Chain A
Amino acid sequence: MTLPDPLRPDRSFQGLILTLQKFWAEKGCVILQPYDMEVGAGTFHPATTLRALGPKRWNAAYVQPSRRPKDGRYGENPNRFQHYYQFQVILKPSPPDLQGLYLESLYAIGIDPAVHDLRFVEDDWESPTLGAWGLGWECWCDGMEVSQFTYFQQVAGQECAPVAGELTYGLERLAMYLQGVDNGFELNFNGLQGEDKVTYGDVFKQAEEEYSRHNFEYADTEKLFRNFAEAEKECKALLTAGESGDGSNERHRQVLPAYDQCIKASHAFNLLDARGVISVTERQSYILRVRELAKACGAAWVQTEAGGA
């Protein structure tokens, strides 16, 4: 299947997404849709956080809209958005030549290693809120970081056995590079020209402005503090409720809903952080509280069927 011209990965944002989806579908991944909650990165999607745990094979790829409230710049900075897309690939166990597969995917979107300088530069990845770490690289194309490449060692406090490989493509940046555009809002979204052309700015500029105001000025902090506490409480309650309780080896029955609450707490924290109402010392304790939830979810997940129990 060749994509029609407007959907070439160097012509349109959506063409880039379609090309990556097609590439990884052909490599045997299930192509999922974004998780329907506010998350800070593709890693938060349970298809990564939870599915990375346990012995079962798992190959998936998906786009994940990601929100980092603090990165908002009121639509004034052409490179920094509080909402953006990540393309996430998770392969468990990590295949023998994951680097080769990754480079092949770059070739598929038009990055030819004969003319580009492609590099794997050390990047020890760690997510304090998820209780996760791994080793890998930032992948550079001509001096620009276009992806993150990580071999997960631990996720949600659990050792990964086997290890999963995670690839995260920063879609806006990659598209800007491919389209030769310096301003993210000028990205061609649909690949059409003239009146039919829709840009990234047409789709998201107003949102960037409004959400920046929201994140920095209007978000109701009292409500957010309450949300955090409630989510934390419910996460713990669900984890307790889902336990078999009688000491038998029955599986856990409430991990995914509990994990949703962990995501909620994390997002509430990110918004509070952007609003500047969390001091440096408090910040650390909030991160720890989210991590405790994530770890509890991880421990419960390995007691489920998908977690290998």
Chain B
Amino acid sequence: MPDLLFELFSEEIPARMQRQAAADLQRLVTNALVDAGVTYEGAKAFATPRRLALNIIGLPARQPDVKEERKGPRVGSPEGAIQGFLKASGLSDISQANIESDPKKGEFYVAVIEKKGRPVIELLAEILPATIRTFPWPKSMRWGAASVSSSSLRWVRPLRGIVATFGPETEEPEVVPFEIDGLKAGNVTYGHRFMAPVGITVKRFDDYVSKLEAAKVVLDADRRKEIIRADAKNLAFAQGLEVIEDEGLLEEVAGLVEWPVVLMGSFEEAFLDVPGEVIRATIRANQKCFVLKKADGNLANRFLLTANIEAKDGGKTIIAGNERVIRARLSDAKFFWETDKKVWREDKEFTRLERFRNVTFHEKLGSQFDRIERIRALAKELCKVTGADPDQVDLAAKICKLDLQTEVVGEFPEVQGFMGRIYAGQIGLPASVAAACEEHYKPVGPSDSVPKDPVSVTVALADKLDTLVGFWAIDEKPTGSKDPYALRRAALGVIRLVVENGVDFDLVSLLVHHADRMPANDAALTAFELVAFFDDRLKVNLRDGGVRHDLVDAVLTATLTSKVPGAANSRNLLLVVRRVEALGKLLETEDGKSLLAGYKRAANILRAEEKKDGEDAFEAPADAARLVEPSEKALHAALHAAETEANAALDKQDYAAAMRAMAKLRAPVDAFFEAVMVNADDPAIRKNRLALLAALRRVTSRIADFSKIAG
């Protein structure tokens, strides 16, 4: 069976696009074949900086024939209808049509149109150019004289050659005949740009790969990666060093070379004074080189570069060139580092904070200086609930953004925070203060760790809450998939900081107070809208942690409902989470499940009867004197006891105890429904019994809104 070899040879394709492009090429061509009814045994695509290649094996020579039936008019229809049918179905005479009969319609004509399958090479001559024209590059361009027309061919970079051969293994394959913008498909490709630039005639995938290899091109990106990984390891090992793994860099480097040659260079020991992270960032970002560590874990003064050529001089010139560039880069880094250290040493009073007055944080939210002042004020308040040392917190809040002014961070934004910690440590600030400079950005995402040091926790909370309140105040909330200021991430960070560190405080009053520090806005509105946002984030967070959505709803509703005296205008994230946990545990027990069932029964009855008697008809306390049955009396007593016990437990925020108090209601509730007929004939007794059920609803609502719980 024939195979297809398809190669698109171009000027250098960006490394980051190659893998996706290979996958797209395979998908587009194979989908088009399948759509045409053509199956194949296997397909694989490849990419190098200069080519995309696709190998499809086991294709048929011809597309399968297809029979198509077309229903026509009834036998004996007027001539016009017959003629129209003949024209549409391509028949020359009505005698060529079959006659079928149908009990409803009677006899009618059917044309059987046999569509001969076309040669697959012909199909390919349409599919391949269409694939090229519609290729989904993230960004594409026009070039050359043809680009005078806006409809000229677009490609990621100029497309220079096309190989497309088709044929069985045993025969000389044919070239798929097509041309696109003057570029003709053929069977000639090119080797390595410098080591083997001449044309190579290829037949099919096997000889294509081996001829390319002979022409210093490794077609498979994964093989290039393995070569780099193995050679890097060997070179490192020979020096008693270890490569610092960097998968992202490896992938990129493999996309920058067709013939990887790993070489080791070195830099002056003196540069190792500069923090390792800075050296690594410098060498990685600018030079795309790997760094190495010594057996003791410290950075070595070596680097590994991946050249694209076996140089005539064995790579001496290349190493020397790279060393010079890296030396210059590290000189810059070292200069930045020394300059920064000097500034931190000399300006002990941090008068340079004043410079933040000229840096806009956000047009409507003032300068970076204003923001730092707000964070300080908020952090100070938070100390009461985090238990952090207020002096340390104030210092940390004051200087936590100061590394934004450093040269190193200006050059390498990715070490922001980290450098603050280093510089603060250098001038002998307390370890907690230094740590907070880095940790107040945390947690950065759902998988990032949460700081534990109270100073870090406090500043991290203040930083995130200030961001949230600020953007809410100026109405820049996230919408749909748009969240340019990463506010969802900030809210999640607050939740995790609070929960994982057990920070117990009322969010509402804090937010209202902080919103007052923002430029003109309705502080109360801002705070309450933001609490609703936190509720949503909390649900998402707990659900992601495997907690039932309905339990969270049940607790959130219970804790905001005005039926709970005094708790109306507060939101304590920590307590919500603890209560949800306790509720979950209660509902795992038999008592809990039965109680829920009893509650639902009570609620259903109440709902039905309230329709007759009115919304709050049964809210008045039950009259003890009118209780008849022993189980009625027992439930009445149990409700009173449970309410007292639950209230006491809630006052102590002991949710487990509150749940235990609820659990005790199970037996009396079950017994009540067993023995008592609620809708008694005597209206007074009926009303009294309904009042008991209303009391059950009220008492349980101190814990959670059971009506929100499923099951």
Chain A positions near chain B (C-beta within 8 angstroms)? 55, 77, 79, 93-96, 99, 113-122, 124, 134-137, 141-144, 151, 153, 159-163, 165, 177, 182, 276, 279-281
User: Bound state CA distance, A124 and B16, in angstroms?
Assistant: 13
Contacts of A177 in B (CB 8 A): 321, 324
* B322 with A114: CB separation less than 8 A: no
Report the minimal beta-carbon distance from B444 to chain A, rounded to whole angstroms. 23
Give me 14 other A-B pairs in contact (C-beta within 8 A), A99-B11, A142-B325 excluded.
Answer: A55-B148, A115-B313, A115-B318, A116-B321, A117-B308, A117-B309, A117-B321, A118-B194, A121-B15, A144-B321, A144-B322, A151-B141, A279-B358, A281-B363
Q: Do A143 and B359 contact each other (CB < 8 Å), given the known contacts A114-B312, A119-B256, A182-B328?
A: no
Distance to closest chain A CB from B359 (angstroms): 7
B143 within 8 A of A: yes
CB of A135 within 8 A of CB of B141, answer yes
Q: Chain A residues near B11 (CB, 8 Å)? A: 99, 120
Is B134 part of the binding interface, using a Cβ–Cβ cutoff of 8 Å? no
B194 and A161 within 8 A (CB): no
Q: Report chain B residues within 8 Å CB of A119.
A: 12, 256-257, 308
User: Contact residues of B with A, CB < 8 Å?
Assistant: 11-12, 14-16, 49, 139, 141-150, 156-158, 194, 256-257, 287, 289, 305, 307-309, 311-313, 317-318, 320-322, 324-328, 332, 335, 358-360, 362-363
What would be 9 A-B contacts, judged by CB atoms less than 8 Å apart?
Answer: A79-B328, A119-B12, A120-B11, A143-B305, A162-B146, A163-B143, A182-B324, A182-B328, A279-B359
A79→B286 CA distance, assembly (Å): 15
What separation, in Å, do the CA atoms of A34 and B322 have in the docked complex?
Answer: 32
User: Contact between B144 and A96 (Cβ–Cβ < 8 Å)?
Assistant: yes
User: Nearest A residue to B367 by beta-carbon distance?
Assistant: A279
Given contacts A122-B14, A142-B317, contact A135 B145 (CB under 8 A): no
Which B residues are in CB contact (< 8 Å) with A143? Answer: 287, 289, 305, 318, 321-322, 325-326
CB-CB under 8 A from A276, the residues of chain B are 358
How far apart sit A279 and B368, CA to CA, in the bound complex (Å)?
11
Q: Which of B12, B141, B321 is within 8 Å of A142, CB to CB?
A: B321
Q: How far is the CB of A164 from chain B (nearest CB, A)?
A: 9
CA of A116 to CA of B320, assembled, Å: 10
Q: Choose among B143, B256, B322 the residue with the greatest number of A CB atoms under 10 Å from its CB.
A: B143
Taking CB atoms, residues of chain A closer than 8 Å to B309 are: 113, 117
B335–A162 CB distance below 8 A = no
Q: In the complex, are the beta carbons of A279 and B360 less than 8 A apart? A: yes
Residues of chain A contacted by B362 (CB below 8 angstroms): 281
Q: Do residues A153 and B142 form an inter-chain contact, with CB atoms below 8 A?
A: yes
Task: Compute how far the CA of A93 lies from the CA of B144 in the bound complex, rounded to whole angstroms.
Answer: 5
B141 in contact with A134 (CB, 8 Å) = yes
Contacts of B194 in A (CB 8 A): 113-114, 118
Cα(A118)–Cα(B317), bound, Å: 12
Q: CB-nearest residue of chain A relative to B322?
A: A143
Across-interface contacts of A153 in B (CB, < 8 A): 141-142
Instruction: Name the B residues within 8 Å of A115 (CB-CB).
Output: 311-313, 317-318
- Is B363 a contact of A161 with CB atoms below 8 Å? no
Q: Which of B139, B150, B311, B332 has the most CB of A within 10 A?
A: B311
Assembled-state Cα–Cα distance A173/B257 (Å):
24
- How far, in whole Å, are A212 and B301 apart by their CA atoms in the complex? 34
- 8 nearest interchain CB pairs? A142-B321, A122-B14, A143-B322, A120-B12, A163-B147, A162-B148, A117-B307, A162-B147
Q: Is the CB of A280 within 8 A of B12?
A: no
B325–A93 CB distance below 8 A: no
Give bound CA distance, A98 to B489, whole Å: 47
A144 to B265, CA, bound (A): 15
User: Measured between alpha carbons, how far is A3 from B142 in the docked complex, in Å?
Assistant: 38
Residue of A nearest to B307 (CB): A117
A161 close to B147 (CB less than 8 A): yes
Query: Which chain B residue shows the least CB distance to A113?
Result: B194
| Residue among B15, B147, B150, B287 with max Cβ neighbours from chain A (10 Å) | B147
Q: How far is the CA of A135 from the CA of B141 in the complex (A)?
A: 7
* Complex-state Cα separation, A103 to B342, whole angstroms: 45
A70 to B94, CA, bound (A): 85
Contact partners of B308 in chain A: CB under 8 A? 117-119
Neighbour of A122 across the interface among B16, B144, B287, B335, CB < 8 A: B16
Q: Nearest Cβ in chain A — how far from B214, in angstroms?
A: 18
**Which B residues are CB-close (under 8 A) to A182?**
324, 327-328
Bound: A159/B332 CA distance, A? 39
Distance of B248 from chain A, by nearest CB (Å): 15
Q: How far does the alpha carbon of A163 sit from the alpha carbon of B154 in the complex, in Å?
A: 12
Complex contacts, A77 vs chain B, CB 8 Å: 332, 335
Chain B residues positioned under 8 Å from A95 (CB to CB):
144
CA distance A15 to B253 in the complex (A): 35
What chain B residues lie within 8 Å of A113 (beta carbons)?
A: 194, 309
The answer to whether B322 touches A161, judged by C-beta atoms less than 8 angstroms apart, is: no
Contact pick for A137, options B12, B143, B147, B359, CB 8 Å: B12
Is B360 a contact of A280 with CB atoms below 8 Å? Answer: yes
Compute how far the CA of A113 lies from the CA of B156 in the bound complex, rounded to whole angstroms. 25
Contact call B358/A116, Cβ cutoff below 8 A: no
Residue on B nearest A159 in the bound complex, by CB: B150
How far is it, in angstroms, between the C-alpha of A69 and the C-alpha of B4 when the chains are bound?
A: 57
Minimum Cβ distance to chain B for residue A15 (Å)? 20
Give the docked Cα–Cα distance between A137 and B327 (Å): 23
Chain B residues lying within 8 Å of A165, measured Cβ to Cβ, are 143
Alpha-carbon distance between A93 and B147 when the two chains are bound, in angstroms: 8
Q: How far is A115 from B313 in the complex, measured between Cα atoms in Å?
A: 6
Residues of A close to B307: CB separation below 8 A: 117
B355 to chain A, nearest CB (A): 9
Min CB gap A206→B, angstroms: 22
Distance between B232 CB and nearest chain A CB, rounded to angstroms: 16
For A120, list chain B residues within 8 Å (CB): 11-12, 49
Nearest residue (CB) in A for B317 is A115
Question: Which residues of chain A come closer than 8 Å to B322, judged between CB atoms?
Answer: 142-144
Give the residue of A55, A116, A280 whose beta carbon is less than 8 angstroms from that of B318. A116
Do B143 and A94 touch (CB < 8 A)?
A: yes
In the assembled complex, the CB of B251 is this many whole angstroms from the nearest CB of chain A, namely: 14
Which A residue's beta carbon lies closest to that of B311? A115
B276 to chain A, nearest CB (A): 20
Q: In the docked arrangement, what's the CA distance between A43 and B558, Å?
A: 66
Separation of A91 and B141 alpha carbons in the complex (Å): 16
Q: Please, how many angstroms separate the alpha-carbon atoms of A39 and B326 in the complex? A: 30
Q: In whole angstroms, how far apart are the Cα atoms of A124 and B324 in the complex?
A: 26
- A76 closest partner in B (C-beta): B335
Closest CB in chain A relative to B226 CB, distance in Å: 21
Given contacts A116-B321, A135-B157, A279-B359, whether A79 and B144 have CB atoms under 8 Å apart is no
Q: How far is the CA of A121 from the CA of B311 in the complex (A)?
A: 19
Q: How far is the CA of A121 from the CA of B11 in the complex (A)?
A: 11
> When the two chains form their complex, are residues A117 and B318 in contact, meaning their CB atoms are under 8 A apart?
yes
Closest to B257 in A: A119
Name A276's closest neighbour in chain B (CB-CB): B358
A22–B15 CA distance with the chains assembled, in angstroms:
34
| B141: chain A residues within 8 A (beta carbon) | 134-135, 151, 153, 163
Shortest Cβ gap from B154 to chain A (Å):
10
Cross-chain contact A93 with B148 (CB below 8 angstroms): yes
Interchain CB contact under 8 A, B317 and A116: yes
CB pair A161 B150 closer than 8 Å: yes
Q: For A124, what are the chain B residues with a Cβ–Cβ distance below 8 Å? A: 139
Cα-based distance from A122 to B288 in the complex (angstroms): 13
Assembly CA distance A153 to B287 (angstroms): 28
Q: Whose C-beta in chain A lies nearest to the C-beta of B316?
A: A115
Instruction: Indicate if the CB atoms of A281 and B317 lie closer than 8 Å.
Output: no
A291 to B157, CA, bound (A): 26
Contact: A141 with B321, CB < 8 Å?
yes
Q: Which of A94, A141, A144, A276 is the most central at the interface, judged by chain B CB atoms within 10 Å of its CB?
A: A144
Give the CA-CA distance A33 to B257 in the complex, in Å.
38
Q: Are B321 and A281 in contact (CB under 8 A)?
A: no
**Contact of A160 (CB < 8 Å), options: B145, B147, B363:** B147
A137 to B15, CA, bound (A): 11
With A117-B311, A163-B147 in contact, do A122 and B15 touch (Cβ < 8 Å)?
Answer: yes
Chain A residue numbers with a CB within 8 Å of B145 are: 93, 162
Contacts A135-B139, A182-B327, A182-B328; is A116 near B148 (CB within 8 Å)?
no
